[in-house]
Chain A
Amino acid sequence: DAGVTQSPTHLIKTRGQQVTLRCSPKSGHDTVSWYQQALGQGPQFIFQYYEEEERQRGNFPDRFSGHQFPNYSSELNVNALLLGDSALYLCASSSRGGRNEKLFFGSGTQLSVL
């Protein structure tokens, strides 16, 4: 049973560019959440997708957007990249039907903005 998979594992971009990160949830899960983790900090919640809609959003600008597909996989898009967007981007999946279900995290995508 595959867990949460993310691609790519590493990415280098320059300021002003756009990036797309991808996530496949754990089998049986229908909800995907995205987190940003700067070096030396705990992960910060970006947003959550369920039934192909954004359900909750953290304190992130509109440059950060996402999408969920019918197969529950998800993408995170970041436009007009800034140096401060350099971070580990984590995807987590869960089952909406579970009460206080635990989140399963992927290994993340390390984004470097030069």
Chain B
Amino acid sequence: DAKTTQPPSMDCAEGRAANLPCNHSTISGNEYVYWYRQIHSQGPQYIIHGLKNNETNEMASLIITEDRKSSTLILPHATLRDTAVYYCIVRVGSGNTGKLIFGQGTTLQVKP
């Protein structure tokens, strides 16, 4: 079973920041939090990942709480092309095992 809990759906106005929450209260100390998104009929696309420090890249920012029990993905200026299903994933196992356990994800609808 997935180790994360996400709201099933969210709306965001175009140009505004989209803040997607994720709970992972049973995360272990060496497990990373990954975010992927999936646009209809395409494969999941990597967004960002982190262990305990906040991370930022060209796509998004990841804020992880100090107790690591939850995190928030921030899309700073959402566009219509950001409409997708967003998956928060805790990576099981050490190193590169390739096994990601996906939950149901959050469907983000960006509206004009």
Contacts and interface: CB of A to CB of B under 8 A. Distances in A.
A103 B32 CA distance: 13
A101 B96 contact: yes
B81 interface: no
Nearest to A40: B104
A100 B91 contact: yes
A contact residues, range = 20 to 34
Interface string B81-98: 000000100010001111
Interface string B73-112: 0000000000000010001000111111111110000000
Interface stretch (B12-20, B21-29, B38-46, B62-70): B38-46
Grouping DSSP codes into helix (H, G, I), strand (E, B) and loop, the B interface class, with mixed when no group exceeds half, is loop
A30 to B, nearest CB: 10
Given A42-B87, A103-B46, A56 B105 contact: no
B43 A102 contact: no
A100 B91 CA distance: 9
B95 A99 contact: yes
B99 A43 contact: no
Contacts of A90: 43-44
